Structure 1
Amino acid sequence: METTLPQVTQWKVAPLIIIFAILPTYAAPPVPSSPQEVAKNVEFDSSFLNIGEGNSIDLSRFANGASVFPGVYRTDIYVNDRMIGNYNLEIKSAANNTIVPCINQEILKNIAFDYEKLPSDFLTKEDKSCPNLQNALKDAVVFYDSNEQRLNITVPQIYMLRTARGSVSQEMWDSGVPALLLGYTTNVYSSESNGADYKSFYASLTAGLNLGAWYLRHNGNYNWIQDGTKKYNTTNTYLQRDIPSVRGRALIGQANTQGLLFDTVPFTGVQLASDERMLPDSLRGYAPQIRGIARSNARVTIRQSDQIIYETTVTPGEFLINDLYPTGYGGNLDVTVREADGSEQTFQVPYAAVTQLLRPGNNRYSMTAGKLRSTSLREDPALYQATWQRGLTNSLTGYGGVQASQNYYAVQLGTALGTNVGAFALDVTQARTHLGSSDSHADNAMSGQSYQVSYSKTVSATSSTISLAAYRFSTSGYMDLLTAMQTREAVNDGLSTESIWRAKNRFIVTASQGLPDNWGQIYLSSSLQNYWNQGGDSKQYQLGYNTTYKRLTWGLSVNRSYSLYGQTQNNYLLNFSLPLGNSGMTHVPQLRVDLSHNTRGRYAEQATLNGNAGEENQYSYGVSATNANQGSGTSGSVNGSWRSSIAWLNANYSQGSGYHSTSAGISGTVIGHTGGITLTPYTSDTFALVEAKGAYGAKVSSYPGVYVDRAGYAAVPYLNPYKLNEIVLDPKGIPPEVELENTSQKVAPYSGAVVKLSYGTRQGTALLINATYNHVPVAFGAEVIDSKGNHVGTVGQGGQIYARVQDEKGRLHVKWGSGPEMQCTLSYILMPRAKNAKYTALQRFNSTCESPNKSSGSKQLASSNAPDSDVNS
């Protein structure tokens, strides 16, 4: 019969108590740091246990390291120190009281074997019900760590496929359970200014239905204005499904194009596009490949700005490192190869990135077919678009795309290049628009080109960064898709082509420079936009400086803007920020002061105090006061929010010269599933649904405010798709009559999934029994089994047994050896419980454990019936 593991926090300790309490007959080796180091055939002297004459205990189970009793245990499976999943693992007994973990077919298929390298009879020579990997594969090692409930499998690298760091097998991706989702954000606003009232209500909704791997989504909002608009607006509605084999997602309905090469536009139709999140972190974005040659078993260390970002050991010969994590816009990499004889060789690899750069062999793609969807157009013209990017070499990426509609097409070709002086991207787009109606153009069409160059560079030695510099020039006949469709409608209405603005130049740059000796940082940003058929330039420049002196952070910025109509304005801002308390204090409020001035003569001073309160920062507050000239006078506001277990609530009140306003809002998500309805204060797209029946009040670690509700469920937000997310339950605070069988699980969800994680619970009355056999305490370390054959505990010091039972009365079987003289049975009868009692107390009593061949009755004496708050600690 399969048995399940009792509460993790209780029973992990028992084998440790036994092992450290037993003294070996010779000097024991150190605690093993790996499976290979486990001591073999250790002999223990049970006389040190003080168990009395005639009560010897069979300790052979512990002669070859820590052991567990046969049964089924929820276990983390690690292969070569990389987790492949969390499974129900069956443990069976073998010869000499050793244990054998049964690595079933479900576990085997998730091990990344290189099947071409495996022996031909690898999966056929062993018993399919309980394969023994150590016998089936030479030099494989299987080691069960009972303290961590972890199975460590070591497989020689020759039998394994090479996988990138952070890889999660697609077999582990979880599409989730059927669920209904409704995310909401609402706000009510009311104001009075100079005797005039204004009231409004706004609600944003995100609804979803998950069935298998198909996810239906709808986004919309309702806007109500007193004596004005009262309308529900649909943002989009679509059905999507992940296709892991192409690392992409299929979508049908209303959505937006990705905007990687062409501008983002809304559409109604179908789309197939890659999702880079399906790659492990070490293969996303761009990072250069590192190639070199090692003369021996060498250690390779890679540094960026004197910080180690990667280190590994390589075998003699040529090596390749292609799984570096991307590090922003770059900074050259310093590579050190330390040989076995202590000699070193160093070289540098340039690293600068623009968004178009990809690693060698990586691809990004998208294909869209449907209709353009825009509120600026009366009709919805056709839209066909395809884009593709591919990393060609370590420093070269090629990309291109095509976009088409009625009487319009655009073709783009480009390349991205990484060099010692930075990363560049260069592309050209050819577009042609057929205008439809006759005008001054003889060929009734306009065509042109758009040229774009972008640049990025980080100089670590001088702390200089140009994070983005992009310049685009378009000829007079060039139009992007949306501009072309607007121009066609204007021409059809009898207007000139000049009525729709056509872009000419567009320039954007962002740069920063760190100053020496912690003097702070200077930053600069600038943008420019002008048009062929509109005079003037739209320009904006911003220059700023910020630094920290002790605990005071302050900054100064200057912003200058030019409008298309020749208007110029300068804005100056000086700000200070200071925590009002010591760094070691909790809930330290933050004071911020802003002083602003512009060239139109406006001055303003604002002071704001913000902070949090509560054990989990579930309360937040803010108070601000503002004073300004030009008739604004003095004003003030106060706001607060509360993150409850089911929703997030906020409120705000402000008052100034001749006006006051009030607003309040609530947000959260409602999830409907087969077990009922679960509420959460968070809005997210990907959830874990925790099921732990009876564990009301258990906290989900690392997720503030997420607790198991009275129905036994909790919704955990913000899961990272396609990556392992660990969900840990803290049993503190759950009812004392409940124990958790497991407290930690890992899951890799699809994007948009609601994945269900079930945490087993045991409910019943906790017993603490002082058991004796032949007038002496029952043997320390003996196994305790209930009437259903479930292992429920181990005898502790002085014959004490801790067990949890569900029946009002019953028997427990105690076994410390194979012979009948090394077994006994004791009976229990629970003390009466007060009617409507909120919890079941720990019941203590003394009992005599009798031999199986004697009468089944046993004497029981209740000595205490007091609650014990430490039962579930």
Structure 2
Amino acid sequence: MPDHSLFRLRILPWCIALAMSGSYSSVWAEDDIQFDSRFLELKGDTKIDLKRFSSQGYVEPGKYNLQVQLNKQPLAEEHDIYWYAGEDDASKTYACLTPELVAQFGLKEDVAKNLQWSHDGKCLKPGQLEGMEIKADLSQSALVISLPQAYLEYTWPDWDPPSRWDDGISGIIADYSITAQTRHEENGGDDSNEISGNGTVGVNLGPWRVRADWQTDYQHTRSNDDDDEFSGDDTQKKWEWSRYYAWRALPSLKAKLALGEDYLNSDIFDGFNYVGGSVSTDDQMLPPNLRGYAPDISGVAHTTAKVTVSQMGRVIYETQVPAGPFRIQDLGDSISGTLHVRIEEQNGQVQEYDISTASMPYLTRPGQVRYKVMMGRPQEWGHHVEGGFFSGAEASWGIANGWSLYGGALGDKNYQSAALGIGRDLSTFGAVAFDVTHSHTKLDKDTAYGKGSLDGNSFRVSYSKDFDQLNSRVTFAGYRFSEENFMTMSEYLDASDSEMVRTGNDKEMYTATYNQNFRDAGVSVYLNYTRHTYWDREEQTNYNIMLSHYFNMGSIRNMSVSLTGYRYEYDNRADKGMYISLSMPWGDNSTVSYNGNYGSGTDSSQVGYFSRVDDATHYQLNVGTSDKHTSVDGYYSHDGSLAQVDLSANYHEGQYTSAGLSLQGGATLTAQGGALHRTQNMGGTRLLIDADGVADVPVEGNGAAVYTNMFGKAVVSDVNNYYRNQAYIDLNKLPENAEATQSVVQATLTEGAIGYRKFAVISGQKAMAVLRLQDGSHPPFGAEVKNDNQQTVGLVDDDGNVYLAGVKPGEHMSVFWSGVAHCDINLPDPLPADLFNGLLLPCQHKGNVAPVVPDDIKPVIQEQTQQVTPGNPPVSISANQ
């Protein structure tokens, strides 16, 4: 069957304009032109008014649905653009830029407030902004606008100004992460089964996000040792709602209002849990190069392991990782403070350590202020408040020439803390900041922290720098020194609890994170280093260093060798070791490798095979020895439309057999529909896709494709806040009888939003038909055929022929020209076997739909439509006639 395309017929009317005026059409006319109409191959006495093509750039007055591009960046959705004739010269036409459209340009405030409008305030008056150019790219159905950057707010690739941010639609969400593990001991011991999970449920109401976090754990242990006095079954269950909270964006302030239970995320003070409210400048709303630092967690798993990241008892991230080094880099830059990392191995071993997230220098652009104001009551685990009412504030003011002054205060009636600092943007040399914090604490009773009034200072210096030209980056380097009597708010709250035992009085802290890539040498280096010293106990040092080298050996290309050294210390126990890996390609999407892990009493070596099946699926198999015993393990991962699925299985000779399952997904429901989906960030931003009811449409965002469900809905969850996100249909994987007339959408969404975008997708068979009016004539050239969903499914040529897409038995369609529906057609039911044999479709005046033609006379009518009427000789036409 021939490959017919609806796109070819859609573009026919534009081909005339392109032949006359080139790719672009300016908004005003220039020189008149003449042309010969013979290339149109008009039939009979067909007449077409070509006057609109006589002036270069002329666009006939009317409404056009166009994609608006501002400085080569498309706006989120298509817009209805009205073109009107000039008041003094009707041969010139102008695009009507409405106030709603201009608001999305991101003009500076002083520019926007001085704009003048015409047509009763509905259209931007032309010629106001010097250097502004507006062109119609008819071949792409686009309105191309060029505007000098001097008129615009601060811009950055893939970042949009607040005028383009979208709060999304109202709806309900429910996200989850579930991990299940089972373990059987070979030589007695305990068999265990565990299911743990965490998630978020919530509601979106306009700009408001209401959320509740939960976490659960179920453990069942059965002893296999008959001599064990504690033999038997033991079951432990836990379910708790860990946090209730709500927030909304304040775009005009570039700030966020948060209410409920929260963790104090401060650029100056140490954090703690509290219940109350805050208003703070949201770094996510700033251009990317002005944002803060996102935590980076690295470690080494000896076997397939469950990694849990928590803060003050609340689980914020949980995942399953295969054996070897891992890095978690998708926690988001809104997380700060001390994080607790727990690695539970399949062999029963547990690694635990704390990491202190780095804080970038608290700098602000000249003339601007970043701030945070918070108040409430401190809270311990289980929603119980402790201590009295507190309040606090901090701010950073960009003075001038790269200097920033910052400071803040925090406290209640018995604790006060104040800080003052200064930062400097060193341009090509990075950024540096120094601050000092003073605390005053009053303890009424004798505690592990002391008694009476305690005063102390803490000094901090931090540095950050990107070396783009060297392909390296010092993400953060810092040093902090605290006097013995200095106390944080969290330490003060612990001291107020007479049963609390002090675990360490901080003295010094060194932190550094470093990346460097030597492209020419094929070498990359990663370092994460933290060192704590204390006034009352021994120091603690954690580090992770990775060295990788990529090289070719003869005909074998893209080989790699990597070496990882690590040390993690927690609760007076250190886990340290070394991991080495050598890998080489095996086919197009596979590698074979040798992996060795040495240290902490566990030595292992394995030969592994890794294969990437497609963009969504990969698996890994390993065979080797561990502690002189044979070991076999496998790992499988699939990014599905409904959930992210990870499977693992492990066998260690004479020791244990284990298996694990991890599911991460969610559900989103709105008035526009809903879908089950995978998810990355619990309770986070997502984009609901509507494919006009067509199922199995592949939609891609930043990750693997998701497929629309039976209702034509899908959710893209890998969406960034305040970034310009793009989702598109993979046209190569569309169902056989589906066509997409619009395959790309964009959205810039506020935090936690449920965005909604609709693709123009037509589903059904394809047919070549002939339209005839009651008087035997046919609709005019360029008339549109639309279905009941107002989708254009075909364009009429100059002889009444039309190629139809999305054809269904008995379907009703309407034929439009001059913007009005003139007549209706009905498709036969059932459809004929050969849909490309000139199917005749009578087109009755609106409201008088012709009955379906009986099957026995269809072949006769179709035969009649094969006759060709000779056309009149071509004539030469002047556009000025």
Secondary structure of the structure 1 residue equivalent to 2:48: coil
The counterpart of 2:191, out of the listed 189, 197, 205, is 197
CA distance in 1, matches of 2:439, 2:823: 89
Aligned match of 1:62: 53
SS of 1:106 mapped into structure 2: helix
- Relative distance call for 1:101 and 1:373 in structure 2 (3 A) is same
* Alpha-carbon shift at residue 283 of structure 1 (Å): 5.1
Displacement of 1:211 in angstroms is 0.9
Q: What is the distance in 1 between the residues matched to 2:714 and 2:787?
A: 33
Asked if 1:409 corresponds to 2:403, the answer is no
Deviation at 1:704, TM superposition (A): 2.5
Task: Flag the 1:132–1:65 CA change in 2: closer, same or farther, 3 A.
Answer: farther
Sort the Cα spacing of 1:675 and 1:149 in 2 relative to 1 into closer, same or farther, 3 A.
same
* Contact residue 669 and residue 680 of structure 1 kept, 8 A: yes
Displacement of 1:594 after TM fit? Answer: 2.3
Match of 2:338 in 1: none
Q: What residue in structure 1 maps to residue 593 of structure 2?
A: 592
Q: How many residues align?
A: 756
Counterpart selection for 2:637 from 625, 637, 641: 641
What secondary structure, in the 3-state scheme, does the structure 1 residue paired with 2:140 have?
A: coil
What is the identity, as a one-letter code, of the residue corresponding to 2:512? V
Q: In the alignment, residue 833 of structure 1 is paired with which amino acid?
A: P
Q: Is the 8 A contact 1:522 1:543 kept in 2?
A: yes
Does 2:240 correspond to 1:249?
A: no
- CA drift of 1:610 comes to 2.4
RMSD (Å), alpha carbons: 4.8
**Counterpart pick for 1:181 among 157, 173, 195:** 173
> For residues 120 and 409 of structure 1, do their structure 2 counterparts lie closer, same or farther at Cα, with a shift above 3 Å needed?
closer
The yes-or-no answer on 1:371 pairing with 2:372 is: no
Matches for 1:204-283 after TM superposition, within 5 Å: 204-226=198-220, 227-281=234-288
Does the 8 A contact of 1:51 with 1:777 survive in 2?
no
Aligned AA (1:183)? D
Shift of 1:706: 1.6
Taking the aligned partners of 2:559 and 2:842, their CA distance within structure 1 comes to: 70
Structure 1 residues 719 and 10: alpha-carbon distance in aligned structure 2, compared to 1, 3 A threshold? farther
> Which string of whole-angstrom CA distances, capped at 9 and with x for unpartnered residues, describes residues 436-482 of structure 1?
11589997222211112233456788877654332222212112222
Return the offset for 1:209.
0.5
Give the match's secondary structure for 2:52: helix
Partner residue, 1:844? 838
Aligned: 1:397 with 2:404: yes
* CA positional deviation for 1:807: 9.6
**1:426 matches 2:422:** no
Q: 1:712 to 1:527 in 2, by over 3 A?
A: closer
CA deviations 1:467-503 (Å, max 9, x no partner) are 433222221211222222222323xx5x9xx955211
**How much does 1:850 deviate?**
13
**Residue of structure 1 aligned with 2:364, choices 349, 358, 364:** 358
Contact 2:439/2:486, CA 8 A, preserved across alignment: yes
In structure 2, C-alpha distance between the alignment counterparts of 1:650 and 1:442, rounded to whole Å: 50
Q: Which residue of 2 aligns with 1:48?
A: 39
Counterparts of 1:791-806 in structure 2, within 5 Å, are: 793-796=794-797, 800-803=801-804
- 1:105: how far off? 3.9
Structure 1 residue 168 and structure 2 residue 160: aligned? yes
Assess if the C-alpha contact under 8 Å between 2:248 and 2:257 holds in 1.
yes
Structure-2 separation of matches of 1:246 and 1:120: 22
CA shift, 1:222, in A, is 1.1
Kindly provide the amino acid, as one letter, of the partner of residue 126 in structure 1: H
Question: In the TM superposition, what whole-angstrom CA distance separates every residue of 1:57-95 from its partner, at most 9, and x where no partner exists?
Answer: 333333345888877544222345454553441546869
Offset at 1:828? 6.4
Confirm or deny: 8 A CA contact 1:222 1:232 kept in the other structure.
yes
1:229 partner SS: strand
Residue matched to 2:647? 651
Which of 506, 527, 533 is the equivalent residue of 2:509? 506
Counterpart position of 2:318: none
Equivalence for 1:311:
none
Tell me what 1:539 maps to: 541
SS in structure 2 at match of 1:452:
strand
Q: Distance in 2 between matches of 1:251 and 1:355?
A: 24
Correspondence for 2:481: 473
Structure 1 residue 626: deviation in Å?
3.8
- TM-score normalised by L of structure 1: 0.74
- Distance in 1 (alpha carbons) for counterparts of 2:564 and 2:639: 35
**Per-residue deviation, residues 680-710 of structure 1 (Å, max 9, x unmatched):** 1234411111223232222223452322222
- After superposition, the C-alpha distances for 1:558-579 in whole angstroms (9 at most, x for unaligned) are 45678896x8886333322322
The secondary structure found in structure 1 opposite 2:177 is strand
Taking the aligned partners of 2:115 and 2:799, their CA distance within structure 1 comes to 52
Q: Which ranges in structure 1 are unaligned for 5 or more consecutive residues?
A: 1-6, 23-27, 287-325, 327-352, 817-824, 866-873
Q: Which has the higher contact order (CA 8 A, sep 6+)?
A: 2
Specify every segment of 5 or more residues in structure 2 that has no aligned partner in the other structure, as ranges. 221-233, 294-332, 334-358, 553-557, 866-881
Distance in 2 (alpha carbons) for counterparts of 1:105 and 1:92: 15
8 A contact 2:69–2:142 mirrored in 1: yes
Pairing 1:662–2:659 present: yes
Answer yes or no: is the 8 Å Cα contact 1:192–1:661 preserved in 2: yes
Q: 1:787 to 1:450 in 2, by over 3 A?
A: closer
Partner Cα separation in structure 2 for residue 74 and residue 717 of structure 1 = 29
Q: 464, 486, 490: which one pairs with 1:482?
A: 490
Q: Distance in 1 between matches of 2:286 and 2:813?
A: 54
Q: What does residue 627 of structure 1 align with? A: 625
Give secondary structure in 2 for the equivalent of 1:44: strand
Q: What's the CA shift for 1:833?
A: 0.8
Equivalent pair of 2:771/2:779 in contact (CA under 8 Å): no
Aligned partners of 2:520 and 2:397: how far apart in 1? Answer: 42
Pick closer, same or farther for the CA change 1:516–1:107 going to 2, 3 Å: closer
The question of 1:518 aligning with 2:524 is answered: no
3-state SS, counterpart of residue 392 of structure 1? strand
* Mapped contact 1:553–1:576 kept (Cα < 8 A): yes
Deviation at 1:249, TM superposition (A): 0.9
Identity percentage of aligned residues: 21
AA aligned opposite 2:119: E
CA distance 1:542–1:792, change in 2 (3 Å): closer
CA shift digits 1:82-131 (9 cap, x unpaired) = 545534415468698987644334324445567877998932x53556x4
Instruction: Provide Cα deviations, 1:583-619, integer angstroms capped at 9, x if missing partner.
Output: xx3xx12333222334x775321333222214xx333
Q: CA 1:645 to 1:136, structure 2 compared with 1: closer, same or farther past 3 Å?
A: same
How far off is 1:234 after superposition? 2.6
Change over 3 Å in CA distance of 1:133–1:736 after alignment to 2: farther
CA distance in 2, matches of 1:809, 1:596: 66
1:306-349 per-position Cα deviation (integer Å, ceiling 9, x unaligned): xxxxxxxxxxxxxxxxxxxx9xxxxxxxxxxxxxxxxxxxxxxx
Q: CA–CA distance in 2 between the matches of 1:734 and 1:232?
A: 43
Q: Distance in 2 between matches of 1:47 and 1:75?
A: 30
Which whole-Å CA distance do the structure 2 matches of 1:691 and 1:507 have between them?
A: 50
Tell me which residue corresponds to 1:322. none
User: How far apart are 1:851 and its partner, in Å?
Assistant: 14
Mapping of 1:759-774 within 5 angstroms? Answer: 759-760=759-760, 767-770=767-770
Amino acid at match of 1:539: T
Indicate how the Cα distance of structure 1 residues 211 and 863 shifts in structure 2: closer, same or farther if over 3 A, else same: farther
User: 274-283 vs 33-42, which deviates more?
Assistant: 33-42
Q: 2:623 is aligned with what amino acid?
A: A
SS at match of 1:862: helix
User: 1:446 corresponds to which residue?
Assistant: 454
Distance of 1:827 and 1:439 partners within structure 2: 87
Which amino acid letter does the alignment assign opposite residue 845 of structure 1? L
Cα deviation for residue 207 of structure 1 reads 0.8
Question: Any idea what SS the aligned residue of 1:489 has?
Answer: coil
Supply the AA of the counterpart residue of 1:188. A
On the 8 A contact 1:388/1:399 being kept in 2, the answer is yes
Residue number among 95, 98, 101 corresponding to 1:107 in the alignment: 101
SS at 2:838's partner residue?
A: strand
Q: What amino acid maps onto 1:647 in structure 2? A: A
| Pair 1:739–1:105, CA change in 2 (3 A) | farther
User: Taking structure 1 as reference, are residues 114 and 519 closer, same or farther at Cα in structure 2, changes over 3 Å only?
Assistant: closer
